[in-house]
Amino acid sequence: MNPDMLWQPYLWQQVVWQQWQQRVQTNRVPHALLISGMPGTGKLALAKLIAAQQLCEQQRELPCQQCKSCLLFAAGSHPHLYDLSQALETHKLSVEVIREAIQFLTSTQVFSGPKIVILPEADTLSQASANALLKTLEEPLGQSLLILTTAELGRVLPTIRSRCQSIRLEATLTPALLTWLQTRFALTESQVKQRWFWSEGSPLRIDPDAIPDTMLSDFLSLGQGLQTCSPAALWALRSLTEKYNLNMLVLWWLRWIRLLTGPVVGVDAWPELHAVVLGGLPKALRAEVFTMVDSLQQLIHALMAGYQMNAALQFEALLYQWLMLNEVKVCV
Ligand SMILES: [Zn+2]
């Protein structure tokens, strides 16, 4: 059995699941679905659940887990399912990969029932890959269902987006979800709230296996260093590049600037962080902070464009720039 397979929607997916049920019951299942939501909202799990339900011989609200189809699905060997999430670890969504998926949809039927392709990270499709897919989206092949997922809806090519039915996943920390997360990840209420704040509302990203406590404390150290702007504290931060990639550290930095320039909600869930936030930006830096935001954003763009750079040196330069922005004003 596939241990990752979830046979029912997550708590925060239930409304969306009910809406999906209405589509199924009124025979309005589309040929293409686009599931979007932040990382940790269970997009792939929902895609698999929809696929399992569509393939199940029992045609109930939830897959029966007993029919031949469900058993094949659970074993990861259903001949009517083409799941690109496995291929994605080793390959990009190249034109060849997309063509193979389309060929799968056109190949001979083994069973009755639909053929399903799961295509995650739809935002990474190149123009050529998207073109290969467009024809299938425009002229669906028989009984087929394409389920695309993305954490970056804005980056999915409009030609793709406009041809898919959209499902948006979002979560709110209700008392029920709070209890669920405490049980699921063996965390206290305050730990859940702290991690919820950290993950910006992505329920599965609060998992201590995914985000260890050390990551939270490193994020806090960065904030403390930036807030106090003491040379010793800033210099101590250089070692962060040994543990995290530069892109992540720059995003953390930008988040700290947002936190320190407020207004921010939900910080009281994390007392140590709240204390740093209350300190605010050093006075001299307040007027100069946008210079820093520019530098950080330029670096992100360069990293996204694929520029190779020495992370340790770049990060050191940023720390130095932060220090200087503060010092210069102090001296004047
Ligand atoms: Zn079944």
> In DSSP terms, which residues pair with 165 in a beta bridge?
33
Structure confidence at residue 283 (pLDDT): 83
> How far apart are the CA of 325 and the centre of ligand 1, in A?
63
Question: Both 146 and 270 in a single domain?
Answer: no
> How far apart are the CA of 155 and the centre of ligand 1, in A?
35
> How far apart are the CA of 67 and the centre of ligand 1, in A?
4
Question: Both 75 and 157 in a single domain?
Answer: yes
Asked if the structure places residue 268 within a domain, the reply is yes
> How far apart are the CA of 62 and the centre of ligand 1, in A?
8
Q: Are 132 and 126 in contact (CB under 8 A)?
A: no
> How far apart are the CA of 71 and the centre of ligand 1, in A?
7
- Tell me what percent of the residues of the chain surpass a pLDDT of 70: 96
Asked if the structure places residue 196 within a domain, the reply is no
Domains contained in the chain, number = 2
pLDDT band at 2 (very low <50, low <70, confident <90, very high): very low
Give 244-275 pLDDT, tens digit per residue: 999 999 999 999 999 999 877 778 888 999 99
Question: Both 164 and 23 in a single domain?
Answer: yes
Please list all protein residues whose beta carbon sits less than 5 angstroms from ligand 1, which is an ion: 56, 58, 63-64, 67, 70
Residue 59 clears pLDDT 70, i.e. is over it: yes
> How far apart are the CA of 53 and the centre of ligand 1, in A?
7
> How far apart are the CA of 45 and the centre of ligand 1, in A?
17
Asked if the structure places residue 314 within a domain, the reply is yes
Q: Which domain holds residue 257?
A: 212-331
Structure confidence at residue 95 (pLDDT): 87
Tokens of 5: 């397979």
What sections of 170-237 are H helices per DSSP? 175-185, 189-199, 213-228, 231-236
Question: Both 217 and 164 in a single domain?
Answer: no
Burial class (CB in 10 A: 0-12, 13-18, 19+), 33: buried
Question: Both 118 and 233 in a single domain?
Answer: no
Question: Both 218 and 85 in a single domain?
Answer: no
> In DSSP terms, which residues pair with 168 in a beta bridge?
36
Question: Both 221 and 316 in a single domain?
Answer: yes
Structure confidence at residue 307 (pLDDT): 87
Question: Both 152 and 217 in a single domain?
Answer: no
> How far apart are the CA of 163 and the centre of ligand 1, in A?
29
> How far apart are the CA of 167 and the centre of ligand 1, in A?
24
Question: Both 132 and 227 in a single domain?
Answer: no
> How far apart are the CA of 81 and the centre of ligand 1, in A?
14
In DSSP notation, 74-125 reads HTT--TTEEEHHHHTTTS---HHHHHHHHHHHHSPPSSSS-EEEEE--GGG-
Question: Both 159 and 19 in a single domain?
Answer: yes
Higher pLDDT, 36 or 304: 36
Asked if the structure places residue 189 within a domain, the reply is no
Give 170-227 pLDDT, tens digit per residue: 999 999 999 999 999 999 999 999 999 998 889 999 999 988 999 999 999 999 999 9
Question: Both 134 and 230 in a single domain?
Answer: no
Question: Both 253 and 153 in a single domain?
Answer: no
Asked if the structure places residue 88 within a domain, the reply is yes
Give 282-324 pLDDT, tens digit per residue: 888 888 899 999 999 999 999 988 888 899 999 999 999 999 9
Q: What is the rounded average pLDDT of the residues 9-13?
A: 96
